[in-house]
Amino acid sequence: MSANLASAQSSAFSLVESLHPQHQQLQPVMQYLQLDCPQLQRLLLGTLLCMSSLPTSRRAADAVGPFAIPPRLHTLIWDDYLAFQPDLASKVRGLASQHCFLTDPHAELGYNLGYAAAIAWLVYQRQHMLPKAGASLASLARIWEASYPHRGGHAEDFRRAWRSN
């Protein structure tokens, strides 16, 4: 990739991020989880933009919230991943509300953007599908397409959502 193209792409990423209030909401969550990776923040922002614009018929069945996370996957993340990482589980649980999480944990995915962002990150983390430093928009889109729950979504959906927002 040429230096000019890389610079333009970086500027475009920054511009999109500065225009989206979601980015300002995701950044503190990433800092809280000690994930200071700009590409990961871009992947999560792109995931949020894409899943928010993807037609319901192309989201995972029973998807909840702006990240469109299915309850079954939410449960798997807790039972098969976080159960074996108590320190991380405690941090993620710290993002959830005190009482509502205990009565309806899946509802947190719908009304708690910080908690939902952490779970979306874990969708990628548990599959070891995290972006490398300097990952392009196309690379982030391919990671989303390969590892995030959807029904027939394509990398172009991710790129289109990024460009249109």
Q: What is the pLDDT of residues 91-100, one digit of tens each?
A: 999 999 888 8
User: Average pLDDT of 111-125?
Assistant: 95
Statement: residue 52 has pLDDT above 80: yes
pLDDT for the residue 90:
96
Q: Which of 55-59, 69-73, 116-120, 146-150 has the lowest mean pLDDT?
A: 55-59
| CA quadruple 66, 125, 18, 141: dihedral sign | negative
Statement: residue 118 has pLDDT above 90: yes
Average pLDDT of the residues of the chain: 86
Integer angstrom CA distances of residue 111 from 17, 66, 84, 104, 162: 21, 9, 26, 12, 22
Residue 122: CB atoms within 10 A of its CB come to 22
pLDDT for the residue 11:
39
Radius of gyration of the chain (CA): 15
| Cβ(70)–Cβ(149) below 8 Å | yes
User: Average pLDDT of 121-146?
Assistant: 95
User: Average pLDDT of 100-117?
Assistant: 92
